Amino acid sequence: MGHAMNFIKKEEEPKISINSPFWKMTKSEIIKWFIDSFNPPYAINMLKKSVSCYDDKTMGSCGRCPACFRKWIALEATGIKSYNWFEKDIRKWKGIKEYKQRINKGLYDIQRSKETLEVLEKYNL
């Protein structure tokens, strides 16, 4: 985004720099930080209401897309039982097999792969 904004800005304007404290954190690390930083019941309630996908019919929790799967893995890796937070049971999502294949091919970083496999193993998937 910073590159795009610098590309379109006027030459005389200062360079735009975007920084985030979360860039080097995994989704589960961000969730843990959020819970540790706020009242845990409040934080968990907010996480439950958070949007994971763009399905406007389910208010962002369809349970049948990669974004919902990634959210579920991050929550479960943090110890939050959340499979029932989605319209459809995320454990039955047809894309799980493809994620496992990508992990086996080494396409994801070690931490993400480890968390995903641990959650899937927990549910015998």
Give the tens place of pLDDT for each residue, 17-47.
Answer: 888 888 888 899 999 999 999 999 999 999 9
- pTM over 0.85? The answer is no
Which position has the higher pLDDT, 74 or 4? 74
- The DSSP code sequence of 7-52 is HHS-TTSPPP----TTTTS-HHHHHHHHHHHS-HHHHHHHHHHS--
Report CA torsion sign: 80, 86, 89, 90.
negative
61: nearest Cα among 34, 40, 90: 90
21-30, 50-59, 97-106, 108-117, range with the lowest pLDDT: 50-59
Q: How many Å apart are CA 31 and CA 78, to the nearest integer?
A: 7
